[in-house]
Structure 1
Amino acid sequence: MLFFTFLLADPIGIALLGALLFWGLFCFTRPKEPAGKWPPGPTPLPFIGNLHLLDLRRQDKSLMKISEEYGPIFTIHFGLQKMVVLTGYEAVREALVNSAEEFADRPPIPIFQHIQEGQGIFFSSGELWKTTRKFTMSSMHNLGMGKKLMVKKILEEFSFLAGLIDSFKGKPFKLKLFNMAPTNVTFLLLFGDRFDYQDPTFVTLLRLIDEVMVLLGSPFLHLFNFYPFLGWFLKPHKTILVKIEEVRVILRNYMVASRQHIPGGYVTSYIDALMQKQSEEPKAETYFSDANIVASILDLVMAGTETTSTSLQWAVLLMAKYPEVQAKVKDELDRVLGASRLPEYEDRKALPYTNAVIHEIQRFIALLPHVPHSTSVDTHFRGYFLPKGTPVIPLLTSVLLDKTQWETPNEFNPRHFLDADGNFVKKPAFLPFSIGCRVCLGESLAKMEMFLFFVNLLQRFTFHPPRGIKESDLDITPEATFTMRPQPQSVCAVPRS
Structure 2
Amino acid sequence: MASRHPLQGILFSSGCTWKEQRRFGMSALRSLGLGRKSMEFCVQEEAGHMVEFFASKRGESVDPRIPLFHAFCSVISSVIFGHPFDIEDKVYQKLIECIEYEAHFFLSTFHLLYELFPWLMRYLPGPHQKAFSCLEQIHSFGRSEIRRHKEKRETDEPRDFIDFYLDEIDKKKDDPESTFDEVNLVHVIYDLFTAGTDTGSSTLCWALLFMVVHPDIQEKVQAEIDAAVTRSQRISYEDRMNLPYTNAVIHEIQRYKYVLLVGNFRQCAKDATMFGFPIKKDTVIIPDIASALYDPEEWETPHQFNPNHFLDKEGNFFVRDAFIPFSLGKRICIGDNLARMEIFLFFTNLLQAFTLRLPDGVRELNTNAVRGRLAVQPHPYTICAVPRKATAWEREQEASQRA
State whether TM-score is above 0.5: yes
Q: What do you get for the CA RMSD once the two structures are aligned?
A: 1.6
Cα distance change of structure 1 residues 288 and 388 upon mapping to structure 2, 3 Å threshold: same
2:368 alignment counterpart: 477
1:126 alignment counterpart: 15
- Which residue of 304, 307, 317 corresponds with 2:196? 304
Instruction: Map 1:257-406 to 2 at 5 A.
Output: 257-262=148-153, 264-284=155-175, 286-370=178-262, 371-406=264-299
- Which residue of 245, 269, 274 corresponds with 2:136? 245
Deviation of 1:402 (Å): 1.0
Instruction: Map 1:38-187 to 2 at 5 A.
Output: 111-112=1-2, 114-177=3-66, 178-187=68-77
1:191 alignment counterpart: 81
Deviation of 1:233 (Å): 4.3
TM-score between the two structures when normalised by the length of structure 1: 0.74
Deviation of 1:380 (Å): 2.3
Instruction: Map 1:5-16 to 2 at 5 A.
Output: none
Contact 2:105/2:131 (<8 A) preserved: yes
1:419 alignment counterpart: 312
Instruction: Map 1:431-442 to 2 at 5 A.
Output: 431-442=324-335
Asked if residue 491 in structure 1 is aligned to residue 380 in structure 2, the reply is no
Moved more, 430-439 or 398-407: 398-407
Cα distance change of structure 1 residues 234 and 377 upon mapping to structure 2, 3 Å threshold: farther
Deviation of 1:142 (Å): 0.4
CA distance in 1, matches of 2:276, 2:120: 36
Q: Deviations over 1:92-141 (max 9, x none)?
A: xxxxxxxxxxxxxxxxxxx45x2234200111110111000000100011
CA distance in 2, matches of 1:321, 1:490: 12
TM-score between the two structures when normalised by the length of structure 2: 0.91
Contact 2:72/2:196 (<8 A) preserved: no
2:109 alignment counterpart: 219
CA distance in 2, matches of 1:172, 1:230: 47
Deviation of 1:173 (Å): 1.1
Deviation of 1:265 (Å): 4.6
Deviation of 1:340 (Å): 2.9
Opposite residue 54 of structure 2, the aligned amino acid is I
Cα distance change of structure 1 residues 311 and 454 upon mapping to structure 2, 3 Å threshold: same
Runs (4+) of structure 1 moved beyond 6 Å? none
Deviation of 1:298 (Å): 1.1
CA distance in 2, matches of 1:228, 1:422: 54
Moved more, 422-431 or 190-199: 190-199
Cα distance change of structure 1 residues 425 and 211 upon mapping to structure 2, 3 Å threshold: same
CA distance in 1, matches of 2:159, 2:105: 33
1:104 alignment counterpart: none
Deviation of 1:228 (Å): 4.1
3-state DSSP class of the match of 1:366?
coil
Deviation of 1:222 (Å): 3.1
Moved more, 208-217 or 358-367: 208-217
Contact 1:262/1:275 (<8 A) preserved: no
Deviation of 1:382 (Å): 2.5
CA distance in 1, matches of 2:151, 2:32: 20
Q: Note the residue ranges of structure 2 that are not aligned, 5 or more in a row.
A: 390-403
Contact 1:330/1:459 (<8 A) preserved: yes
Opposite residue 362 of structure 1, the aligned amino acid is Q
- Identity among equivalent positions (%) equals 36
Deviation of 1:229 (Å): 5.4
Contact 1:115/1:241 (<8 A) preserved: no
CA distance in 1, matches of 2:227, 2:117: 57
3-state DSSP class of the match of 1:287?
coil
Contact 1:400/1:409 (<8 A) preserved: yes
Deviation of 1:163 (Å): 1.6
Contact 1:376/1:388 (<8 A) preserved: yes
- Which residue of 289, 293, 303 corresponds with 1:410? 303
Deviation of 1:168 (Å): 1.4
Q: Deviations over 1:260-284 (max 9, x none)?
A: 2445352111111111111222124
Contact 1:169/1:494 (<8 A) preserved: yes
